Chains A and B, each alone.
Chain A
């Protein structure tokens, strides 16, 4: 019988706080983490973002550990440590664990600061410590060194689906028997490159994103990290670890269509969703909640609903659907892991988080169950969470309640 993959630990750093209880409280209260962008000065169309509060960013780690790490590496380490603690992984279990990290810009903010200081005449020479966090691979290096993780390791970068793909590959490592325990994480931080790039694409909502609203005008950028401990269900059971949810299956597929726009009919997204359900051996009728990619751009949300309709059919009208990006912004490489963590909380605690800021749903979707603030309570059996990256990198995960562990 194939191995079942369960999730035994979560960790998170996001605009709503520096740990899972803070995220869970923010979800339950329907709080919005989108506010003024203060990390760097920016003069453009937009000035809002779901920024990790300075107190959270600074307090996440002892300063001796943090002094040379980039913001995203600090987020990653704090989330990874929380997840390992929550899963009760001792040094021996961590030693053999696999590690998969998804990220898109690494230490870009710190690298930008190097150039700013140099242009401003504040520093005449490049300093090594300021660029140590530039490569994408540094998050995995920092986490494995700090937590003593010696198993197979990979850093993945498929734009906004990077950490959903990290979860998929970590689950594969467990199913293949390559590891009994795997840590999957995603991390990304706000930086000028990303912010100015999305602004230049006119992809940002100048106020805040409103996924699925008829007045949606774009996304809000966010930042943060999430870490999930994936584990062979039998292994978790044998050591008495509590499974919070199961990762039942995943699907990945590519649009091969455009550098930034999704394929209008969601060719790759559709294939990913179908493959994920097939891998989970679940019919569409088994899905009780959809944690949408839901960026709030006109194109994404229309494509995404079209894909869900094509697969879930009439069932879709009875499936609550919401977008975490309305609360945490679009955390890019971290989004897949953060939204998987939100979906685990939804399944484990029987909550359906809302799409905050959704006022008037697009009339084309009047038949859908778009969950508004304040969200609701409902027992959930299985849920979908999808991540669609620029360049047409699509990943869908199917998560389920942990029963049968």
Chain B
């Protein structure tokens, strides 16, 4: 899967999985996922771990990895590309 397709999939997962008001196309590429833009909270963080792990078969075992993976949409795409099996 190329980077653009994966980025779109990640944004769709954010918008639908967390039931956001923001349209998937309006989610910024480089802003922190848990910053001001999306208004997410700590419950969303727990949710997102499960959603990303299940969808992309990667593991986010602790907060440190989570902080890196959820730095931005682009950071999450990089994380998935680097970590996922096969």
Interface pair B21/A128, CB less than 8 Å apart: no
* CB proximity to B under 8 Å, residues A32-91: 62-64, 67-68
Interface pair A64/B21, CB less than 8 Å apart: yes
Assembly CA distance A127 to B43 (angstroms): 10
Interface pair B54/A63, CB less than 8 Å apart: no
* CB proximity to A under 8 Å, residues B8-56: 18-21, 39, 43, 46-47, 50-51, 54
A interface: dominant SS: loop
CB distance from A98 to the nearest CB of B (A): 28
Tally the A-B contacts, defined by beta carbons under 8 Å.
24
Which A residues touch B47, using CB under 8 A?
127-129
Interface pair B43/A63, CB less than 8 Å apart: no
Contact count band on A: 10 to 19
Which A residues touch B21, using CB under 8 A?
62-64
Assembly CA distance A123 to B53 (angstroms): 12
A132 sits at the interface (CB 8 A)? yes
CB distance from B51 to the nearest CB of A (A): 8
Interface pair B46/A128, CB less than 8 Å apart: yes
Question: Knowing A64-B39, A68-B43, A132-B43 touch, does A125 contact B19 (C-beta < 8 A)?
Answer: no
Contact count band on B: 10 to 19
B45 (CB) vs chain A CBs: closest residue: A128
A124 sits at the interface (CB 8 A)? yes
Interface pair B54/A68, CB less than 8 Å apart: no
CB distance from B41 to the nearest CB of A (A): 10
CB distance from A135 to the nearest CB of B (A): 15
Interface pair B43/A129, CB less than 8 Å apart: yes
CB distance from A108 to the nearest CB of B (A): 20
Which A residues touch B39, using CB under 8 A?
64
Assembly CA distance A128 to B51 (angstroms): 11
Add 10 more A-B contacts to A63-B19, A128-B46, A128-B50 (CB < 8 A): A64-B21, A67-B19, A67-B20, A68-B43, A123-B54, A124-B54, A127-B51, A128-B47, A129-B47, A132-B43
Q: Hey, which bits of chain B sit against chain A, CB under 8 A?
A: 18-21, 39, 43, 46-47, 50-51, 54
Subset of 8 A-B contacts with CB under 8 Å: A63-B21, A67-B18, A67-B20, A68-B43, A128-B46, A128-B47, A128-B50, A129-B43
